[in-house]
Structure 1
Amino acid sequence: MFTSSRPTVRRHPLAAAGTAAALALTLAACGSSNNDSSSMPGMDHGAKSSASAKASPSMGDMPGMDHMAAGNGLSDTKDGYRLTDEGGALAAGKAVAYRFTVTGPDGKPVTDFAVDQTERMHFYAIRSDLTGFQHIHPTMTNDGTWRANLSSLASGSWRMFTSFTPDSGAGKGTTFVLSRTVTVPGSETKTALPAAAKSAEVDGYTVTVKGEPMAGMAHPMTVTVTKGGKPVTDLQPYLDTYAHLTAFHEGDTAFAHLHPTTEVDGGHGGPELSFNAELPTSGNWRLFLQFQTGGKLHTAAMTLKVG
């Protein structure tokens, strides 16, 4: 397994496809989860890290500040960096490994990655109808080949996203989001996007959102977490922040990524988390909000309407 001495540690509270990543949410439906599975069919958020990808917590940057992600996330190439995979279809209905490599402008596999929110690589899988979300931290071998262990996939078209920051070379210090589409064979049944709502339930928690998003404009947004009608104040850090929010645009699955501006203070997060929300395009966005309490990761699925 690959290891790195003195990796560059950086914070990733805000990364989006093409703009400062963004969002104000409107919650619609939710998925319950632990670190391996979810009660929502096809949804997972595998957050387990391997020794090859794990690193010390981020530090030093102001909460909510971030470096711009290069590209909109819908291409497999950017500034000479390319995402390649083994090709072919992935099997439906069972766990499967997705292997990929990132090559640099010199055509060679990149093996030197900066630490971003305690990980050197963040990997996301999303089905074309915005179901089946999986968030994984893959492992890398010495030759630069990454392995993402995916949970059961439903038949259909999937897009696989990689988010990373080279720690050397021409792209050093730049966050890239690259993706490729993969086919999972079989009969495809598409799920309609749930309607927007201001709150959602997950694992007994209620997540409520205040804020109205407008495309291309920054808006303050507050997410409040309660349980049994009482404020939750024991949110634990997850990837060096109190919430991890990933969004995908309906139609093209464009990617966005946001974290609270609230400063982390041990396991005392909540009940309110502040965001500076901005999404570049109008339409529906499907969001997946992840937060941790008592060592358990919870994932709420959300629909956001951006005017």
Structure 2
Amino acid sequence: MSSAFPSTFSSTRSLTRRRGPAAAGAAAALALALAGCGSSTGSPSMHGMSSASPSPSPSPSASHAMGDMPGMGHAAGNGLSAMRDGYRLTSKDAKLRSGKQSVYRFAVTGPGGKPVTRFALDQEERMHFYAIRSDLSGFQHIHPTMTGDGTWSARLASLAPGSWRMFASFTPAAGAGEGENLVLSRTVTVPGHATRTRLAAPAGSTHVDGYTVTVKGEPMAGMPHPLTVSIAKGGKPVTDLRPYLGTYAHLTAFHEGDAAFAHLHPTTKVAGDGGDGGGPDLAFQAELSTSGNWRLFLQFQTGRTLHTAALTLHVA
């Protein structure tokens, strides 16, 4: 695959609900850079390195194996397996069409082999679903819906040809794994001529939708380290962040080469008066399993718009 897509981009979409991720705490140099991917207006998912609105909340209501990853809670693993602790991510969808919206259907089976239908809320959702291409482009974060038999449907925005990995992050609400944060993944193929997106070089800050996002910290592989994310607009600190998923910012990361997954846990608390007015500094606890470059996706909300900044971070 050859180098193709641009290394920076941004877009916006209006939100149909309010949520909130959180923020960051401290140290010296780190590396990042933005990449984006156009807007997907009208789609329930976020397409590429772009800004978008979150998908509808799940209603508590199925190839290639790939991934265990740390999910929205404090899950162990890196998302690179379809099985963990007796739980399995299953799907009949080994291929998805390119250039059009599509639906990825899947289920989670428990240690007894039966579909799991009871999931605990984790950052306001029962299931967090992520799609990422093998070159770490095309990021989408979706909250799928579930039918009564345990089949989940994730509505994806247009996918570029290539190999994609689909991650499911969840917490069983009953059974042997009750209360355990799990992340499982599988791969799918999107047919067509695939051109590789070159990963943007690490840098200290990036821009999205008129906002400047700066990251400070010195993460080391396999150890928890604080990160501080600061957000400004027009040279002025931003203080009007609104909650998204219960915090002021949501931060996920994927490792270059194998797409190992990590969720960087927010430590900044949402204000008790409803949470409006967050920022400009957000604290996160980062625990990245492997050294090398990680692609970070920071989602934050202002007004009714969700912004997504893509950053490249080097981990020693």
Q: Give the TM-score normalised by structure 1.
A: 0.84
Aligned-pair identity (%)? 68
Residues 259-296 of structure 1: per-residue CA shift (max 9 Å, x gap) = 32111011111011112323121001011000000010
Residues 6-63 of structure 1: per-residue CA shift (max 9 Å, x gap) = xxxxx9989xxxxxxxxx9632014376875699867575512236159xxxxxxxxx
Residues 172-211 of structure 1: per-residue CA shift (max 9 Å, x gap) = 0001100000000011100111001111111110011121
Q: Which residue of 287, 294, 298 maps to 1:289?
A: 298
Secondary structure of the residue that 1:115 maps to in structure 2? coil
Q: Which residue of 110, 134, 138 maps to 1:132?
A: 138
Q: Which residue of 54, 68, 75 maps to 1:47?
A: 54
Paired amino acid for 1:29: L
- 2:157 maps to 151
Unaligned 5+ segments in structure 2 are 1-19, 24-28, 62-71
Query: 1:12 & 1:225 partners in 2: Cα distance?
Result: 13
Indicate conservation of the 8 Å contact 1:45/1:136, yes or no: no
Unaligned 5+ segments in structure 1 are 1-10, 15-23, 55-65
Paired amino acid for 1:241: T
Indicate conservation of the 8 Å contact 1:290/1:297, yes or no: yes
Indicate conservation of the 8 Å contact 1:35/1:48, yes or no: no
Query: 2:22 & 2:48 partners in 1: Cα distance?
Result: 28
CA separation of 1:42 and 1:183: change in aligned 2, threshold 3 A: farther
- 1:28 maps to 33
Indicate conservation of the 8 Å contact 2:51/2:306, yes or no: no
- 2:312 maps to 303
Query: 1:107 & 1:118 partners in 2: Cα distance?
Result: 27
CA separation of 1:229 and 1:12: change in aligned 2, threshold 3 A: closer
- 2:277 maps to 268
Matches within 5 A, 1:3-82: 26-31=31-36, 47-50=54-57, 52=59, 68-82=74-88
Query: Cα RMSD over matched residues?
Result: 2.5
CA separation of 1:200 and 1:283: change in aligned 2, threshold 3 A: same
Deviation of residue 89 (structure 1)? 1.1
Deviation of residue 117 (structure 1)? 0.6
Secondary structure of the residue that 1:216 maps to in structure 2? coil
Q: Which residue of 173, 181, 191 maps to 2:179?
A: 173
Query: 1:34 & 1:90 partners in 2: Cα distance?
Result: 18
Indicate conservation of the 8 Å contact 1:83/1:100, yes or no: yes
Paired amino acid for 1:234: D
CA separation of 1:88 and 1:277: change in aligned 2, threshold 3 A: closer
Q: Give the TM-score normalised by structure 2.
A: 0.81
Residues 197-255 of structure 1: per-residue CA shift (max 9 Å, x gap) = 11111111001112122212333321110000111001000000000001000010000
Paired amino acid for 2:154: A
- 1:101 maps to 107
Query: 1:12 & 1:224 partners in 2: Cα distance?
Result: 13
Indicate conservation of the 8 Å contact 2:35/2:49, yes or no: no
Query: 1:123 & 1:40 partners in 2: Cα distance?
Result: 13
Secondary structure of the residue that 2:277 maps to in structure 1? coil
Query: 1:263 & 1:35 partners in 2: Cα distance?
Result: 30
